[in-house]
Amino acid sequence: MAKFIITGKIPLCGEVTVSGYKNSAGALLAGILLSEEPSILNNIPLVSDVLNQIELIKAMGATVEWLDTRKVKINPKDIDPNKIPIDLFEKMRVSVLLIAPLLARFKKIKVPSPGGDKIGLRPITTHLEAFKKFGVKVAIENGFYILEAPEKIYGKKIALKEFSVTTTENIMMLAALSFGKTTIEIAAAEPQVQDLGNLLIKMGVKIHGLGTHTITISGKEKLKGAEFSVCPDLLETGSFMVALAATGGSGIIKGSNPKQLTFFLEKMRDIGVRFAVQKNDIHIFKTEKFNSTKVQALPYPGFPTDLQPAISILLTQAQGKSLIHEPLYENRFNHLQELRKMGADIEITDPHRALIFGKTNLIANRIKAPDIRSGATLIIAGLIADGQTTIDDISQIERGYEDFDGKLRKLGAKIERA
C-alpha cells in the first residue's frame, strides 16, 4: 500500500493552482443523468472518487469521451440502472446522488448502500423520507434498497430536519423532472448545491433561492444537455493556506473563489495569518506568531466542517488554549488522535469538542490517514514536524485531492511517495 514520507521544517514558497471541487463534480455528474442528451463538464478534478464515479456511469451504459485532460463529454441516453457496478457504488458516498436522477428517469431502481468516509453516522434516512413525500415506495431486501416512484411525480413542499447537502441535491434532481413546484426549506446552501442548481437551470429547470436556505424548483418533463464548469475547490484552497502559513512560508494560491470562504478567511485573520485577497488569488505572507481562538463548524456559509481538521494544525502552533467545536459529525476528531502521537497537547472533552494547547513542537512519527480531510491535515503536520513522518493509507487522501504531493513539491516540500 502506498505511503508518503515527509521531511519537516521546510518553509513552503511559490505558486499553486487549485483544482476543481470534488463534491461539486460528484453532484454535476449525477445531475447530467437527468437528460437523455449529452453534456460537457469542464474543470474535472482528477481524483479517485470522481474518476470512479465516471467509470460507474460508463458501466451503466453511458458514452464517455474525454475532450481534454479535465474536460469530459458524457451521453447518458442509454444508461441502464440494472447495470450499476455494486463494488463502485458501495465504495463512494457520492453514489447516494445517483438515486434521484435514476429514479426520476426510470421510476424503479435497486441500489446497494453507498460508502464514504468514516467520520460519523451518515445514514440515508433523510433522503428516503424526502423521496417518500414525492410518493416513492421504499423497501429493503437483502441489503439493497428498492425504490419505486409513481409514473408522474408532482412537486412538494419539504422541510428538512437538518442542512443536509446531499439530501438537498437529491430533492433538487427529483424535482427537476417533476410536475409543478417543489419548495425545500432548511436547504443546504453550499457551493456544490449552487453548482448543481445552476447546471439544472442550464438544462431547462427554473430554480430560485440558490445560496439561501429556501430553494424552489419548477420541474420540466424533459431536460436538455448542457456545458458547465466545476467550481474551484475551496477545501484545497484552505488546505494550502494552512500549509503555507504553518510552515512559515509565503506564496500565492491561484484560481480559487475567496467568496466561498468568508468565515474561514475571517478565522485565519483571528489566528493572525497574514494574507491578501486579489480577485481569484490569495497571497500568503510569512507569519511569525499565531493566536489561539475558538472554531465552530457550521453549515455554509459558516466555517466548513471539512476545514476543521486543517485549522487544528495552526492551533497546535498558536499561543494559549483553543477550542474546536464540531457539532456536525461525532467521529471528526480522528486526526487529533494522530496529532497526539506527534506530541500535540490535545484534550478531547467529548465527541464534539476538543481543547488544543500551544505552542507545541511536533515530532515526526508513523501515522495513518483516517479520511480525506484528516489525511491532508496530517501531511501538513508532517511538513512542520521535526524529523521524517510516514503517512500510511494515502489512497484516502487521493480520493479528494488532485496531485497534492506534487503541488507541495513545487512549493518546496520534501515529500516522497513510497
3-19+232-417 and 22-229 share one CATH topology?
yes
Instruction: Give residue 364's pLDDT band: very low, low, confident or very high (50, 70, 90).
Output: very high
Average pLDDT over residues 150-165: 95
Amino acid 120: pLDDT? 39
Is residue 151 predicted with pLDDT exceeding 60?
yes
Average pLDDT over residues 31-47: 98
Is residue 390 predicted with pLDDT exceeding 80?
yes
229: which strand partners?
42
Please, what is the Cα angle at 88 between 374 and 59, to 5 degrees?
A: 140
pLDDT per residue as tens digits for the range 216-263: 999 999 999 999 999 999 999 999 999 999 999 999 999 999 999 999
Is residue 330 predicted with pLDDT exceeding 80?
no
Average pLDDT over residues 342-355: 96
Is residue 191 predicted with pLDDT exceeding 90?
yes
Average pLDDT over residues 68-88: 96
Nearest Cα neighbor of 210 from 400, 72, 41, 24 is 24
Instruction: Give residue 178's pLDDT band: very low, low, confident or very high (50, 70, 90).
Output: very high
CA dihedral 263, 95, 127, 158 (to 10 degrees): 60
Average pLDDT over residues 336-356: 96
Domain boundaries, the chain: 3-19+232-417, 22-229
Is residue 118 predicted with pLDDT exceeding 60?
no
Provide the mean pLDDT of the chain. Answer: 95
Amino acid 1: pLDDT? 78
Is residue 113 predicted with pLDDT exceeding 90?
no
As given in the structure block, the three cell numbers for residue 42 are 469542464
pTM surpassing 0.85?
Answer: yes
Is residue 98 predicted with pLDDT exceeding 90?
yes
Cβ(405)–Cβ(375) under 8 Å?
no
Q: Is 254 exposed, middle or buried (0-12, 13-18, 19+ CB in 10 A)?
A: middle
pLDDT per residue as tens digits for the range 121-147: 346 888 999 999 999 999 999 889 999
Please, what is the Cα angle at 186 between 182 and 188, to 5 degrees?
A: 90
Q: Evaluate the omega torsion of the peptide bond into residue 359 and state whether it is cis, within 30 degrees of 0.
A: yes
Average pLDDT over residues 362-371: 93
Average pLDDT over residues 112-127: 64
Is residue 116 predicted with pLDDT exceeding 80?
no
Amino acid 171: pLDDT? 98
The percent of residues above 90 in pLDDT, for the chain, comes to 89
Amino acid 388: pLDDT? 97
Specify the fold of 3-19+232-417: UDP-n-acetylglucosamine1-carboxyvinyl-transferase; Chain (3.65.10)
Average pLDDT over residues 56-82: 98
Average pLDDT over residues 16-37: 98
The percent of residues above 70 in pLDDT, for the chain, comes to 98
CATH no. of 22-229: 3.65.10.10
The β-bridge relationship of strands 3-7 and 39-42 is: unpaired
As given in the structure block, the three cell numbers for residue 374 are 484528516
